[in-house]
Structure 1
Amino acid sequence: MDKQGDKLKAIVSTGVKIDGSLTMAEHIPWLRWMFPLKEEAFTKNGDRRDRLSKAIMEEHTLARQNSGGAEQHFVDALLTLQDRYDLDHSISEDTIIGLLWDMITACTDTTTITVEWAMAELIKNPRVQQKAQEELDRVIGFERVLTESDFSNLPYLQSVAKEGLRSHPPTPLMLPHRANANVKIGGYDIPKGSNVHVNVWAIARDRKVWKDPLEFRPERFFEEDVDMKGHNFRLLPFGAGRRVCPGAPLVINLVTSMLGHLLHHFTWTPPEGVKPEDMDMSENPGLVTYMRTPIQAAAIPRLPSQLYKHVAVDI
């Protein structure tokens, strides 16, 4: 990556770590004195984020001016809205920066985390990997690559993606919600104004909710129809209600596409000398669940050599 890419990666990584450490202070305000260094680091990282965002916005402004106003990027669309319709100054520079970082932090990390966990499970469970590849071979064959129009004919691949989101939800406690009224849930009184977290990680491991919850078994979604867009509270990777993740359809398609390409193009095995059952599947605590030990695997090509040449850039 270039220097700007390195900065972006560092800001996102630092932001996720700091946000998680400040959660206690949000819930118990009188403990804020225990986190002075974290708050200072949070402010410092926010300043770095804003400087990088403004530099990117300036680059896009110059590019639009030089190209006659062509709109080819999310940044350009926001800047164009600001120029054309911001009569009441509601689309401020801070608003654009906030929207940009919502997109980056809410979509990028969670999608890659989901794919990494799913791939780890597929490497650990060769039976599931082989079954997904047999479906891909049957539907797509060996003369072309996967496209989005194939998804509807790949129910097992879709179930693999769904099982990945169930067994390893990228945001284990979801985002905090605030009770707008006094309510009673499960025998507990939740006062109005309380911050509430839903432990979807624990739900995914509850034997009262799921049969054999620790087993990575996509077939469970053929045995019963479970919606994951907020209608079935057993599976809530994107939340529910008015604050359900607006990017859910995009994430589902991205995860399905990434897994499909990886499985269709390659057979995946643990590194030499490592048995599948010995893979480290432990988690790092935080707002998102990274693998404690980043996945390592050997990729064995499965398709004709010419299909590996269709890439956007040289790699």
Structure 2
Amino acid sequence: MTALWTMPLWLLPLLALLPLLLILKSKQVRRTNLPPGPPKRPIIGNLHQLGELPHRSLGQFSKEYGPIMLLQLGRIPNIVISSAELASEILKFHDLDCCNRPDLMGPRRLSYNNLDIAFGRHNNYWREMRKVCIQELFSVKRVQSYHSIREEELASMISSISKSTSSTPINLSEILFNLNDDVTCRVAFGKIYKGRDLFDNGKFGEAIAEADAMLSSFSGADYFPYVGWILDKFTGLHGRLENCFQKFDKFYQHLIDEHLNNERAEAEQEDIIDVLLKVGRDQTGAAPLTHDHIKGILMNIFLGGVDTSAVTIVWAMTELVKNPQVMKKVQDEIRSTVGKKENVIEAIIEQLKYLKMVVKETLRLHPPAPILLPRETMHHFTINGYDIYPKIRVQVNVYAIGRDPKYWMNPEEFMPERFMDNSIDHKGTHFEFLPFGAGRRSCPGIHMGISIIELTLANLLYAFDWGFPSGMKKEDINMDEEAGLTVHKKAPLYLVPIEENITSISN
């Protein structure tokens, strides 16, 4: 008792309130209602359950735990959304509550997080950047202005294929990635850099391949803050990342200097660097566009644009050779519309309604980013009755939504006709179909990507019929996926191009 009375008198009210505070705290804990999810292990959480193809693993989990799940990936809580209704809640009604990007420090910052760091995840810089991208770089008018570049590079590709030895299979996957490299280089940089040694001891193509490999690598720093960098140091990932980043930084600075010093040949039109430098000169206010910002934008355009477009075209051709009736139907449409012209030009594409359905169906079955780039919540909110707290990563499994029988009849079948006579599009307003995301973090390069996909596919189908390598049938096509930031076809697509409209793909 003596000890009690010697305590400071101001502590007595706090001691009296302590039981009440504990009761209120326990009630608050009981009121917390987190989404369900699979059991987790100490330290690693649910990381071991992702598998080689996380979009498929998470799709299977959603059938057991529901369309909203909570997973602990290392030390990071993640909610995974696998239904159109909840995707609408997250990306539309709670867009402001979860439009941050997580502070990733591993390989994925090569592709997008470096740009968020440059512009700030929490201030006006990011909004200014998106405004620049939408209004200056990827507007419909700007994308259309590059039509001659796409048409020229496609004509060159078709000519090259025509010169290949008759009945010899070609690696269509490699050809399509090279095409998209060339188009993106000309649009963004003003010329093609293939084979030019601007990376000291490595060529441009090798640097791109290394960046792609980095994007699909596991980084301890992304899942174990403060300590994961030790794992990345031990595996050599940290050093590879910094080396890759420095090479690209030097490359982009070289490009900017060329444009500033007029050291390049006279260009036919403005490229993206021209546009960004002009925006930087004309910009006023608190958010100037610096050279570092321009480098970040270029990194996103190149690594995000080349891969996704090429992957989609490869999957489209794969599905078409597996479904010869669909191929014949789309070829008939293209050839009857184009007539006897040498190549398909972009002005004709709007008339090719069935081709557009084929592209949509490919994006439904094979979204290039099957799990949208992660967001991070900023505020507490509830969804479907569950509490969502700040600093939780949000991932939307568009692959699972695109194959859900609730929204799609016979969802595993390739049926472009499902898009006939309906208004479903890929612009982020139909949440059962989200290949480019929705809301503030949707892909700003939708028009650019769709333009090259549709035009390339139209030219390939117009110029050639397509046969299989000797002894191969459509049932033999390998449909396995290879996971990464984008999901590639694991085995390259080898086909035989046949001119003179001789159909050789049998039923």
How far the C-alpha of 1:14 sits from its partner, in A, is: 2.2
- Does the Cα contact within 8 Å between 1:16 and 1:288 map onto a contact in 2? no
User: Superposition RMSD on alpha carbons, in Å?
Assistant: 2.6
Return the alpha-carbon distance in structure 2 between the equivalents of residues 134 and 183 of structure 1: 52
The partner residue of 2:253 within 51, 54, 58 is 54
Indicate yes or no: 2:220 matched with 1:21: no
The partner residue of 2:207 within 11, 14, 19 is 11
Indicate yes or no: 2:475 matched with 1:277: yes
The partner residue of 2:231 within 28, 34, 37 is 34
Per the alignment, do residues 297 and 53 of structure 1 end up closer, same or farther by CA in structure 2, a change over 3 Å counting? same
- Does the Cα contact within 8 Å between 2:256 and 2:273 map onto a contact in 1? yes
Indicate yes or no: 2:336 matched with 1:138: yes
Per the alignment, residue 118 of structure 2 pairs with none
Alpha-carbon deviations, 1:125-149, whole Å to 9, x = none?
A: 1111101011112222234532222
How far the C-alpha of 1:291 sits from its partner, in A, is: 1.3
Return the alpha-carbon distance in structure 1 between the equivalents of residues 197 and 432 of structure 2: 40
Return the alpha-carbon distance in structure 2 between the equivalents of residues 66 and 151 of structure 1: 32
- Does the Cα contact within 8 Å between 1:284 and 1:291 map onto a contact in 2? yes
Q: What is the aligned length? A: 302
Indicate yes or no: 2:285 matched with 1:92: no
Per the alignment, do residues 71 and 34 of structure 1 end up closer, same or farther by CA in structure 2, a change over 3 Å counting? same
Per the alignment, do residues 139 and 91 of structure 1 end up closer, same or farther by CA in structure 2, a change over 3 Å counting? same
Unaligned regions of 5+ residues in structure 2, if any? Answer: 1-193, 502-507
Per the alignment, residue 290 of structure 1 pairs with 488
Unaligned regions of 5+ residues in structure 1, if any? Answer: 304-315
Indicate yes or no: 2:433 matched with 1:222: no
Per the alignment, residue 68 of structure 2 pairs with none
Identify which range, 26-35 or 227-236, moves more after superposition.
Answer: 26-35
How far the C-alpha of 1:163 sits from its partner, in A, is: 0.9
How far the C-alpha of 1:111 sits from its partner, in A, is: 0.7
Per the alignment, residue 110 of structure 1 pairs with 308
Letter in 2 for 1:16: D
The partner residue of 1:81 within 279, 298, 321 is 279
SS at the partner of 1:212?
Answer: coil
TM normalised by structure 1 equals 0.86
Instruction: Kindly report which structure 2 residues correspond to 1:259-270, keeping only aligned pairs within 5 A, or say none.
Output: 259-270=457-468
Return the alpha-carbon distance in structure 1 between the equivalents of residues 473 and 348 of structure 2: 33
Return the alpha-carbon distance in structure 2 between the equivalents of residues 25 and 50 of structure 1: 22
Letter in 1 for 2:389: P
Q: Sequence identity, in percent?
A: 33
Return the alpha-carbon distance in structure 2 between the equivalents of residues 49 and 65 of structure 1: 19
Per the alignment, do residues 194 and 127 of structure 1 end up closer, same or farther by CA in structure 2, a change over 3 Å counting? same
How far the C-alpha of 1:297 sits from its partner, in A, is: 0.6
Per the alignment, do residues 86 and 56 of structure 1 end up closer, same or farther by CA in structure 2, a change over 3 Å counting? farther
Deviant stretches of 4+, over 3 Å: 4-8, 22-25, 64-67, 80-89, 183-189
SS at the partner of 1:35?
Answer: helix
Per the alignment, residue 243 of structure 2 pairs with 44
SS at the partner of 1:203?
Answer: helix
How far the C-alpha of 1:25 sits from its partner, in A, is: 3.7
Per the alignment, residue 124 of structure 1 pairs with 322
Identify which range, 82-91 or 38-47, moves more after superposition.
Answer: 82-91
Instruction: Answer 1 or 2: higher relative contact order, Cα 8 Å, separation at least 6.
Output: 2
Alpha-carbon deviations, 1:173-206, whole Å to 9, x = none?
A: 1211112322344565432221111111222222
Letter in 1 for 2:203: K
Query: Which protein has the larger Cα radius of gyration, Structure 1 or Structure 2?
Result: 2
Per the alignment, do residues 234 and 24 of structure 1 end up closer, same or farther by CA in structure 2, a change over 3 Å counting? farther
SS at the partner of 2:303?
Answer: helix
How far the C-alpha of 1:49 sits from its partner, in A, is: 0.9
Indicate yes or no: 2:382 matched with 1:178: no
How far the C-alpha of 1:227 sits from its partner, in A, is: 2.1
